[in-house]
Chains A and B, each alone.
Chain A
Amino acid sequence: MREITLSQAVNEALAEEMRRDPSVFILGEDVAEAGTPFKVLSGLVEEFGTDRVVDTPISEPGFVGMAVGAAMTGARPVVDLMFGDFIYLVMDQLCNQAAKQHYMSGGKLTVPMVLRTNLGATRRSAAQHSQSLQALVAHIPGLKVALPSSAYEAKGLMKTAIRDNNPVVIFEDKLMYQDKAPVPEEEYLIPFGEANVKREGRDITLIATSSMVQVAEKAAEMLASEGIDAEVIDPRTIVPLDEATLLDSVKKTSRAIVIDEGHQSYGVTAEIASRLNEKAFYHLDAPVLRMGAMDVPVPFSPALEDLTVPTPEAVVENARKLCAGEMIHAA
């Protein structure tokens, strides 16, 4: 199978959906000729014109609000939010407006829009361009949240998001745009709420999102050399969450670590760990561990920044302890 980058995969998904459905359009800062700072959208304006690849001023609340209104009246906007950190700027439009319209109207209004943005530290971009804020939006009923872990997922999830009748937030890891993966030439969609078991194992389950899937896979390889057989699962969407697949795995392995690049406290890892504790408690041989980003603003200095995110080595160390029973009575 051919291999393409995550960036190309997103671009293909958008182009295919825009060809299929004339109501799909892109709105955001520097999306047209510039193709975004990450060049993910390069070439789209040439095919679809500036009517459907719309460059906006630097007015995030304004253009996200406009996407909500366009979606409520029959279009399917894909909003490009240049950095995930800018979600703070659009919280009212996303969480008070987009997320609630369907419910507040008793099911009469719908908001079929996609907000595509990014996450991920270690790009040396400091505290306001490095955050992974998926937990913020996953907390809000009415929003769906997808976290592609490779080019394959990025394409299939984007196509599903565009066809979904709800507001969907997709976070791409900004460090993965040039990562290649096998992506079929023929059309495919990845349904929301279906986790992907990336690697089967018997001893411990590593549940990881976005680029943390790579971290978990590396950890699993290292653990294998020590005789620990780790299972790696990518939920692919955290709202909706495929609880059944995660529970089945944990019931089999009796141990789990949840890895996500958002801050650890009150985060995605906490939510998933809590569900496993509530629903698989009697199958567990050890506490479910959370591994998120440190609870600090992302520092600029590489020497400090690299300390803030989960690494394969840290996952291996925790997995080793869990499997040895060392953390059962941990403080």
Chain B
Amino acid sequence: MAKAKTNTEDYLRMYRQMVRIRTFEDNANQLYLSAKMPGLTHMYSGEEAVAVGICEALTDDDRITSTHRGHGHCVAKGAEFKEMFCELLGKAEGYCRGKGGSMHIADQSHGNLGANAIVGGSMGIATGSALRAKLMGKDDVTVCFFGDGATAQGLMYEVMNMAALWNLPVIYACENNGYSEYTKTEEIAAGSITARAEAFGIEAHTVDGQDVLAVNELTQKLVARARKGEGPFFMELMTYRYHGHHVGDINREYYRSKDEEKDWKDNRDPIIRFRAFLVSEGIATEEEIEAMNAEIEKNATEAVAYAEQAPYPPANEVDMHVYAD
């Protein structure tokens, strides 16, 4: 594994954040399976090293835009379980007072401009946030998360062109999990994804999205350069989603095999890999890690129980927040 941070606290926080995401998703999946969650949701499990490796290189002033598969970004950018589970259940104490739900969860206090249920829909928002930073003389950086499927949207090429023309402080983070909904990426993407960014003169990198330190090391470098006006940058993060496109996508052997899923889970899991690294480097003992895992599980269980009991928004909120004052 690549070494980016030498600080033990940083390592442990990255591990904790990855486990928090996995635990959040496991609980969210259970809420869906037990029919306690309205609608459906898209699991981030398997991709934790991407969100955590990137967001750990950002400050609260830095912005991100997220996707329909956005719980991981939300946790990694600093959100709390209680408000997140409340949002998933449509409760008043959710981050968006229950009006956004899983696909629109936003936490602007930590710079998360929100998940977006239109594939590729937030690329303009992210690039505009970077334009604002440049015009107003701020040094914050915006990271635009999107999947390989979104590379088929025309908006991406319009905004990458402008970001490159104007040297905007934006980093395009393409989470390539191999599947565009129910279709293999190779069937929807001609040529190379990074070459598309390079065509605009944007420096592009491909990185192992299952290696949190590699992701973090690269992001730190790119963020520092973007702050100095050397942006934009493009990262293709090779990763894998353990669940289907959404929680209801159970029978998926028509587009990918169980053997393939097992191989990623057994041999390339970002949490298992990082845990082994922490133990072998003497940063944490197995016991300490188990204790951390248990504490996170307890936090999640308590947050779910809280959210289940929490009140729904009152009826008078239905036409509130259509317009700002």
A binding-site residues for B, Cβ under 8 Å? 22-23, 25, 51-52, 54, 56-57, 59, 61-75, 77, 92-93, 96-97, 101-110, 112, 141-142, 144, 165-166
Q: How far is the CA of A51 from the CA of B137 in the complex (A)?
A: 11
Contact A69 to B127, CB < 8 A, known contacts A57-B162, A59-B158? yes
Report which of A25, A62, A70, A142 forms a contact with B129, defined as CB distance below 8 A: A70
0/1 interface trace, chain B 66-108, chain A, CB 8 Å (1 if under): 0000000000000000000000000000111111100010101
**B residues less than 8 Å from A22 (CB atoms):** 136
A-B contact pairs, 20 of them (CB 8 A): A59-B159, A62-B127, A64-B124, A65-B125, A66-B125, A69-B65, A72-B113, A75-B132, A75-B136, A77-B128, A92-B155, A93-B124, A102-B324, A103-B321, A104-B106, A105-B99, A106-B96, A108-B96, A108-B106, A112-B324
What residues of B have a CB within 8 angstroms of the CB of A110 in the complex?
A: 324
List 10 A-B pairs, minimum CB-CB distance, nearest first. A65-B124, A69-B128, A62-B158, A106-B97, A66-B128, A69-B125, A59-B158, A106-B96, A107-B321, A70-B132
Known: A70-B131, A104-B114, A105-B114. A165 touches B325 (CB 8 A): yes
- Residue pair A66, B322 in contact (C-beta under 8 Å): no
Q: How far, in angstroms, from A69 to B165 measured CA to CA in the complex?
A: 18
By beta carbon, the residue of chain B nearest A22 is B136
Tell me, yes or no, whether B214 is within 8 Å of chain A by CB.
Answer: no
Q: How far is the CB of B159 from chain A (nearest CB, A)?
A: 5
Tell me if B245 counts as interface (CB < 8 A to partner A). no
Residues on A with C-beta less than 8 A from B165 are: 57
Contact A104 B125 (CB under 8 A): no
A108 vs B100: C-alpha distance in the bound complex, in angstroms?
11
Tell me the smallest distance from the CB of B153 to a CB of chain A, in Å: 9
**Proximity string of chain B (115-159) to chain A, C-beta cutoff 8 Å, 1 when within and 0 when not:** 010100111111111111101100000100000000000110011
The answer on a CB contact under 8 Å between A68 and B100 is no
Q: Which of B154-171 contact A (CB under 8 A)?
A: 154-155, 158-159, 161-162, 165
Residues of A within 8 A of B136 (CB): 22-23, 74-75
A63 to B162, CA, bound (A): 8
Contact yes or no, A72 B321, CB < 8 A: no
Q: Could you count the A-B residue pairs with CB atoms below 8 Å apart for me: how many are there?
A: 151
B320 located at the interface, meaning its Cβ lies under 8 Å from any Cβ of chain A in the complex? yes
Contact A165 B324 (CB under 8 A): yes
Measured CB to CB, the closest approach of chain A to B287, in angstroms, equals 41
**Quick one: closest B residue to A56, CB to CB?**
B162
Closest to B115 in A: A104
Question: Complex Cα distance A249/B128, Å?
Answer: 45
Say whether B323 faces chain A, with CB atoms less than 8 Å apart: yes
Query: CA A265 – CA B24 in complex, angstroms?
Result: 49
Q: Which residues of B contact A (CB under 8 A)?
A: 63, 65, 94-100, 104, 106, 108, 113-114, 116, 118, 121-133, 135-136, 142, 154-155, 158-159, 161-162, 165, 320-325
Residue of B with least CB distance to A65: B124
Tell whether, in the assembled complex, residue B108 and residue A65 are in contact, meaning their CB atoms are under 8 Å apart: no
Is there an interface contact between B161 and A59, defined as CB atoms closer than 8 Å? yes
Q: List the B side residues contacting A104 at CB < 8 Å.
A: 96, 99-100, 104, 106, 114
Establish whether residues A68 and B132, one from each chain, have CB atoms under 8 Å apart when the complex forms: no
Q: Is the CB of B322 within 8 A of A141?
A: yes
- Would A62 and B159 count as touching, CB distance under 8 A? yes
Q: Tell me whether A108 and B108 are in contact in the complex, defined as CB-CB below 8 angstroms, given that A62-B159, A165-B324 are known contacts.
A: yes
Bound together, the chains give a CA A105 to CA B99 distance in angstroms of 7
Rounded to whole Å, the gap between the CB of B242 and the closest CB of chain A is 27
Cβ-defined contact, B99 with A62, below 8 A:
no
Determine the residue in chain B with the shortest Cβ distance to A62. Answer: B158
CB closest residue in chain B, given A111: B324
- The distance in angstroms between the C-alpha atoms of A196 and B267, with both chains bound, is 71
Give the residues in chain B near A69, CB-CB below 8 Å: 65, 113, 122, 124-132, 142
Question: Taking the nearest CB of chain A, how far is it from the CB of B161, in angstroms?
Answer: 6
B325 contact set on A, CB distance < 8 A: 165
Q: A102-B321, A105-B108, A107-B320 are in contact. Are A61 and B158 (CB under 8 A)?
A: yes
Interface centre among A65, A67, A73, A142 (most CB of B within 10 A): A73
- Select which of A57, A67, A97, A106 is within 8 A of B98 by beta carbon: A106
Q: Are A65 and B322 in contact, CB atoms less than 8 angstroms apart?
A: no
Q: Across the interface, which residues of A come within 8 angstroms of B100, CB to CB? A: 104-106
Q: Is the beta-carbon distance between A62 and B162 smaller than 8 angstroms?
A: yes
Contact of A102 with B114 in the complex, beta carbons under 8 Å: no
Q: Let me know if B322 and A103 touch, CB within 8 A.
A: yes
B158/A25 in contact, CB under 8 A: no
Decide: B125 and A68 in contact? CB cutoff 8 A: yes
Contacts of A77 in B (CB 8 A): 128
CA distance A104 to B123 in the complex (A): 18
Give every chain B residue within 8 A of A101 (Cβ-Cβ): 114
Of chain B, the residue at the smallest CB distance from A113 is B128
List of B residues within 8 angstroms of A59 by Cβ: 158-159, 161-162
Question: For the complex, what is the distance from the CA of A132 to the CA of B62, rounded to whole Å?
Answer: 40
> In the complex where A70-B128, A107-B321, A110-B324 touch, is A61 in contact with B96 (Cβ < 8 A)?
no
List the B side residues contacting A92 at CB < 8 Å. Answer: 118, 121, 155
A104–B321 Cα distance when bound, in Å, is: 8
* Identity of the chain B residue whose Cβ is nearest the Cβ of A52 in the assembled complex: B135
| Contacts known (A57-B162, A103-B99); A97 close to B106, Cβ less than 8 A | no
Q: How far is the CA of A71 from the CA of B113 in the complex (A)?
A: 11
Residues of B within 8 A of A144 (CB): 323
CB pair A66 B63 closer than 8 Å = no
Residues of B within 8 A of A106 (CB): 94-100, 321
A75-B114 Cα distance, complex, nearest whole Å = 18
Q: In the complex, what's the smallest C-beta–C-beta distance from A245 to chain B, in angstroms?
A: 20
The residues of A that contact B321 with a CB separation of less than 8 Å are 102-103, 105-107
